Amino acid sequence: AQSVTQLGSHVSVSEGALVLLRCNYSSSVPPYLFWYVQYPNQGLQLLLKYTSAATLVKGINGFEAEFKKSETSFHLTKPSAHMSDAAEYFCAVGYSGGGADGLTFGKGTHLIIQP
């Protein structure tokens, strides 16, 4: 079974500081990995997607994520936080193989930006 764990339901950083949102996954087949962002009362927007082409994936709004197979991790980072980054972030693992496929979401991390 596939699962996603996002460490920390809430993360608080100062404006201009490094953003690090953690995501660990388990998957019995090579995974596809996604990060989505959700602003209050809105739908989810894709930030970036890992498809095995490169371990470091660059996304929108200055975010990037690194796939580390040995650590089964796909942490999301941004060098310098901006007030507009305050939102809910979801990591998701997609799997396809062995006669089954699907997408599993983590429970989300609420990013708080302090001025």
Partner 1 sequence: DGGITQSPKYLFRKEGQNVTLSCEQNLNHDAMYWYRQDPGQGLRLIYYSQIVNDFQKGDIAEGYSVSREKKESFPLTVTSAQKNPTAFYLCASSRGGARGRETQYFGPGTRLLVL
- Identity (one letter) of the amino acid at 30? P
Q: Does 55 bind partner 1 (CB under 8 A)?
A: no
Asked whether the beta carbons of 91 and 102 are under 8 A apart, the reply is: no
The burial of 74, by beta-carbon neighbours within 10 Å (0-12 exposed, 13-18 middle, 19 or more buried), is given as buried
Give 31 or 113: the residue with its C-beta nearer to partner 1.
31
Instruction: Give the shortest CB-29-to-partner 1 separation in angstroms.
Output: 9
Q: Does 26 bind partner 1 (CB under 8 A)?
A: no
Q: Does 28 bind partner 1 (CB under 8 A)?
A: no
Piece in contact with partner 1 (CB under 8 A), picked from 13-21, 33-41, 58-66, 79-87: 33-41
Piece in contact with partner 1 (CB under 8 A), picked from 16-24, 66-74, 75-83, 92-100: 92-100
Q: Does 105 bind partner 1 (CB under 8 A)?
A: yes
3-state DSSP call for residue 84?
A: helix
Phi, psi of 80 (to 5 degrees): -140, 115
Instruction: Count other C-beta atoms under 10 Å from residue 97's C-beta.
Output: 11
Asked whether the beta carbons of 67 and 76 are under 8 A apart, the reply is: no
Q: Which residues bind partner 1 (CB under 8 A)?
A: 9, 31-32, 34, 36, 41-46, 49, 51, 90, 93-96, 101-103, 105-108
